[in-house]
């Protein structure tokens, strides 16, 4: 009888262990790394072009924009000092540190020459 109880106890312990491992594997790892400026900048691409190289005169290019100008204008949108039905809502979604990271990303890119196509884009998975 004791052998039978030991079998059940072993099976129960193994089951708990398997379920625990499966649960832990299914749970995403907690990331302490802050998203990069490039990650945030991808949200700008729909209007301002991939990597901030706009092809539409209605939307200014962000590539090569001065760091402080980018931060200042985004804060003005966020505070409603610079009215915009779209940009005020978008800027409201970023804190100061995120705006700084986006500004650094765009400032590091070369500006698009007037009347010319954007500089060569990086390979998939790379950022300029």
**84-127 tens-digit pLDDT:** 989 999 999 999 999 999 999 999 999 977 765 555 555 545 55
Task: Work out whether the CA dihedral 75, 46, 103, 119 comes out positive or negative.
Answer: negative
- Does 81 reside within a domain? yes
- Does 16 reside within a domain? no
- Does 118 reside within a domain? no
- The answer to whether 110 and 65 have CB atoms below 8 angstroms apart is no
Q: What CATH number is associated with residue 90?
A: 1.10.760.10
Total structural domains within the chain: 1
Query: What does each C-alpha distance from 53 to 30, 62, 105, 107, 113 come to in angstroms?
Result: 33, 7, 13, 12, 10
Task: Give the pLDDT score at 43.
Answer: 87
- Does 74 reside within a domain? yes
- Does 7 reside within a domain? no
- Does 29 reside within a domain? no
Q: pLDDT by residue (tens digit) across 7-50?
A: 655 544 445 455 455 555 555 666 667 888 888 888 899 999 98
CA atoms within 13 A on the CB side of 127: 16
Q: What is the CA radius of gyration of the chain?
A: 25
In 3D space, the residue among 67, 105, 62, 110 whose CA is nearest the CA of residue 87 turns out to be 62
- Does 30 reside within a domain? no
- Does 6 reside within a domain? no
Residues 6+ apart with CB under 8 A from 51: 41, 45, 63, 109, 118, 121, 122, 128
Could you tell me the residue range of the domain that residue 67 belongs to?
A: 35-107
């Amino acid at each position: 009888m004791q052998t039978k109880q030991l079998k059940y106890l072993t099976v129960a312990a193994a089951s708990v262990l398997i379920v625990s491992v499966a649960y832990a594997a299914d749970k995403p790892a907690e990331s302490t790394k802050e998203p990069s400026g490039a990650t945030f900048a991808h949200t700008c691409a729909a209007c301002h072009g991939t990597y901030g190289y706009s092809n539409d005169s209605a939307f200014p290019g962000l590539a090569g924009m001065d760091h402080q100008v980018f931060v200042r204008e985004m804060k003005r949108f966020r505070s409603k000092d610079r009215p915009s039905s779209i940009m005020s809502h978008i800027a409201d979604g970023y804190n100061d540190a995120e705006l700084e990271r986006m500004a650094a990303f765009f400032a590091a890119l070369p500006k698009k020459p007037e009347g010319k196509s954007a500089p060569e884009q990086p390979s998939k998975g790379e950022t300029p």
